[in-house]
Structure 1
Amino acid sequence: MKIQLLRMEDLGRNERARWRALQAANPTLASPCFSWDFAEAVDAVHDDVFVAVLEEDGVIVGFFPFQRRLGAGRPLGGRMSDHHGVVAAPGTHWHWGELLLRARLSYWQFDHLPAWQCPPVMVRHAASPGLDLSGGFEPWLQRKLAAGQSMRKLQRAMRKLERELGPLKLDLHSHDDHAFATVLRLKSEQCLRTGEADLFATAWKRELVERIRAIDREDFGGRLSTLHAGDTLLAAHFGMHTPQVWHWWFPVYNREFAPLSPGLVMLVETARAAAGEGHRLLDLGKGDEPYKSQMADTAMPLVEGLAARPTALTAARHLRKRVGAWLRTSRWARPALPLLQRLRGLAGWVVFVPDLQPLALFA
Structure 2
Amino acid sequence: MQVTLAHPRELGDAEISRWRALQESDTAFDNPFLSPEFTLTVGELRDAVRVAVIHDGPEIVGFFPFERHPLGIGKPVAAGLTDAQGMIYAKDLEIDPFKLLRKCGLSVYEFDHLVIGQPLLGATYETYPSPVIDLSDGYGPYTEFLRANSGKTYKTTLAKERKLGREAGEVRHEFAITDPGPLHTLLNWKTDQYRRTGRTDRFSHRWIVELVERLQATRGESFAGVLDMVYVGDRPVAGHFGVRTRTTLAGWFPAYDTAFAKYSPGLIQHLAMAEKAAAAGIELIDMGRGAKEYKEKLKTGELTVAEGRLARPGLPAGVHWMMRVPARRARATVLAHPVLHRTADKALKTYGRLRARMAG
Q: Normalising by the residue count of structure 2, what TM-score does the alignment of the two structures yield?
A: 0.87
SS in structure 1 opposite 2:249? strand
Question: What displacement does 1:324 show?
Answer: 6.4
Question: What displacement does 1:225 show?
Answer: 1.1
Distance 1:102 1:251, change over 3 A: same
RMSD, matched Cα = 1.8
* Per-residue CA distance 1:177-213 (angstroms, 9 max, x = gap): 3211111111111111111111010111111111111
Question: What displacement does 1:155 show?
Answer: 1.3
Distance 1:171 1:243 in 2: 19
Query: Bigger CA drift: 90-99 or 184-193?
Result: 90-99
Is residue 166–residue 231 contact of structure 1 (8 Å, CA) maintained in 2? Answer: no
Is residue 50–residue 68 contact of structure 1 (8 Å, CA) maintained in 2? Answer: yes
Distance 1:251 1:122, change over 3 A: same
SS in structure 2 opposite 1:46? coil
Q: Which runs of 4+ in 1 moved over 4 A?
A: 321-325
Question: What displacement does 1:318 show?
Answer: 2.6
Match of 1:49 in 2: 49
AA aligned to 1:58 is: P
* Per-residue CA distance 1:75-124 (angstroms, 9 max, x = gap): 10111211110012333332211111111100010000011115231211
Distance 2:290 2:97 in 1: 27
Query: Bigger CA drift: 149-158 or 101-110?
Result: 149-158
Match of 1:226 in 2: 229
Alignment length (residue pairs): 327
AA aligned to 1:130 is: V
Given the alignment of the two structures, is residue 163 of structure 1 paired with residue 157 of structure 2, yes or no?
no
Partner of residue 184 from structure 1, selected from 181, 187, 194: 187
Given the alignment of the two structures, is residue 207 of structure 1 paired with residue 210 of structure 2, yes or no?
yes
Question: What displacement does 1:322 show?
Answer: 7.8
Distance 1:182 1:321 in 2: 35
SS in structure 2 opposite 1:73? strand
Partner of residue 306 from structure 1, selected from 289, 305, 309: 309
Q: How do 1:121-270 and structure 2 match up within 5 A? A: 121-147=123-149, 148-270=151-273
Distance 1:232 1:104 in 2: 51
Percent of aligned positions with the same letter in both sequences? 34
Is residue 124–residue 310 contact of structure 2 (8 Å, CA) maintained in 1? Answer: no
Match of 2:7 in 1: 7
Distance 1:48 1:154, change over 3 A: same
Match of 2:353 in 1: none
Given the alignment of the two structures, is residue 116 of structure 1 paired with residue 117 of structure 2, yes or no?
yes
Is residue 170–residue 269 contact of structure 1 (8 Å, CA) maintained in 2? Answer: yes
Match of 1:286 in 2: 289
Distance 2:206 2:298 in 1: 33
Match of 1:33 in 2: 33
Q: Normalising by the residue count of structure 1, what TM-score does the alignment of the two structures yield?
A: 0.86
Match of 2:24 in 1: 24
SS in structure 2 opposite 1:197? coil
Structure 2: unaligned runs, 5 residues or longer: 332-360
Question: What displacement does 1:166 show?
Answer: 3.0
Is residue 122–residue 309 contact of structure 2 (8 Å, CA) maintained in 1? Answer: no
Is residue 52–residue 103 contact of structure 1 (8 Å, CA) maintained in 2? Answer: yes
AA aligned to 1:295 is: L
